[in-house]
């Protein structure tokens, strides 16, 4: 069974975000980048599907600047078997531009399944997965917490409000990973050594037959990025007298929030 996994390289979730001088982007200086957490679930699942089916490739794809190679190296060390780097400043493209690049890249690789994270941590769009599915003309199952693949068909649990749907679809299909799908493995020393021997394929947007003007067309353009106003940190009271504290909370909920 062959899978493609789209992984994005994002600022570590612990990072302090600083705004770049242009007022529209994150200042990348000094930021540590990681594989986006949901993409780790996506990658792990693809590796498990491969292991269960007894073979095939797990190809990881990223669209990003030079630094994004680190994400591919990390994925190879964990068990991906091939890697494709589409070079370009993905942060200058909107989600549909990114999806077009990924869909074109996916078409160059044999696959039965396409995995993405349910959302890229940081930009928090949760858009690229269904867009890729539409561009490829594949069925999609979004926000998946459990997956079984057999006989050209997959069964997936999809998380919805307060419940879970169990859906079935023939492959090829697009699956976006939610936390709970699996526990991602760490890279082993052996994996890290083996990964070093794998060459990362690189392509440009033009190599994929796409026009920069369509990919970087900014149907959605960021005009400003701002830090939230410092919260003044509200009122703090001593709760040593539990009954008095409870009354104060109730009063706050009634008077300020107009609830109850």
Ligand X SMILES: Nc1ncnc2c1ncn2[C@@H]1O[C@H](COP(=O)(O)O)[C@@H](O)[C@H]1O
Q: Which does 7 bind (CB under 5 to 8 A by kind): ligand X, ligand FAD, other proteins, none?
A: ligand X
Question: Is 78 within 8 Å of 43 (Cβ atoms)?
Answer: yes
- Kindly tell me which residue out of 1, 3, 4, 6 binds ligand X, with binding defined by CB under 6 A: 6
Q: How far is the CB of 105 from ligand X (least distance, A)?
A: 9
Distance in angstroms (rounded) separating the CA atoms of residues 148 and 179:
16
Distance in angstroms (rounded) separating the CA atoms of residues 97 and 151:
33
Helices 69-78 and 189-196: crossing angle, nearest 10°? 130
Q: Which does 32 bind (CB under 5 to 8 A by kind): other proteins, ligand X, ligand FAD, none?
A: none
Q: How far is the CB of 217 from other proteins (least distance, A)?
A: 9
First to last CA, the chain: 55
Distance in angstroms (rounded) separating the CA atoms of residues 117 and 62:
12
Q: Which does 39 bind (CB under 5 to 8 A by kind): other proteins, ligand X, ligand FAD, none?
A: ligand X
191 contributes a contact to ligand FAD by CB under 6 A:
no
Degrees to nearest 5, angle at CA 173 with 97 and 164: 105
184 contributes a contact to ligand FAD by CB under 6 A:
no
Q: Give the alpha-carbon dihedral of 138, 141, 145, 146, to 10 degrees.
A: -60
13 contributes a contact to ligand FAD by CB under 6 A:
yes
| Interstrand relation of 113-117 and 173-177 (parallel, antiparallel or unpaired) | parallel
Distance in angstroms (rounded) separating the CA atoms of residues 131 and 158:
18
Q: Which does 134 bind (CB under 5 to 8 A by kind): ligand X, ligand FAD, other proteins, none?
A: other proteins
Nearer to ligand FAD, 24 or 179 (CB): 179
Residues in 21-80 at the binding interface with ligand FAD, rule: CB under 6 A? 37
Q: Which does 206 bind (CB under 5 to 8 A by kind): ligand FAD, ligand X, other proteins, none?
A: none
Q: Which residues bind ligand X (CB under 6 A)?
A: 6-8, 36, 38-39, 42, 61-64, 90, 95, 98, 102, 116-117, 119-120, 123, 125-129
């Amino acid at each position: 069974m062959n899978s493609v996994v789209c992984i994005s390289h994002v600022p570590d979730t612990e990072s302090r975000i600083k705004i770049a001088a242009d007022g529209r982007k994150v200042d990348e200086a000094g930021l540590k980048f990681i594989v986006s957490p949901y993409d780790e679930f996506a990658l792990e699942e693809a590796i498990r599907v491969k292991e269960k089916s007894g073979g095939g490739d797990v190809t990881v794809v990223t669209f990003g600047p030079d630094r994004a190679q680190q994400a591919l190296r990390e994925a190879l060390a964990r068990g991906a078997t091939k890697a494709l780097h589409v070079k370009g400043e993905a942060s200058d493209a909107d989600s549909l531009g990114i999806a077009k690049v990924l869909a074109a890249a996916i078409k160059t690789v044999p696959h039965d399944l396409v995995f993405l994270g349910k959302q890229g941590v940081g930009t928090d769009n949760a858009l690229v997965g269904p867009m890729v599915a539409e561009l490829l003309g594949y069925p999609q199952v979004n926000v998946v917490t459990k997956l079984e693949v057999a006989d050209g068909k997959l069964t997936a649990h999809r998380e919805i409000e307060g419940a879970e749907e169990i859906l079935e679809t023939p492959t090829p299909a697009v699956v976006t990973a939610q936390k709970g799908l699996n526990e991602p493995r760490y890279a082993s020393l052996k994996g890290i050594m083996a990964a070093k021997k794998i060459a990362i394929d690189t392509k440009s947007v033009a190599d994929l037959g796409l026009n920069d003007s369509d990919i970087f067309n900014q149907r959605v353009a960021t005009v400003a990025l701002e830090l939230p106003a410092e919260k003044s940190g509200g009122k703090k009271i001593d709760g040593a007298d539990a009954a008095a504290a409870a009354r104060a909370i109730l009063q706050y909920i009634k008077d300020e929030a107009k609830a109850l």
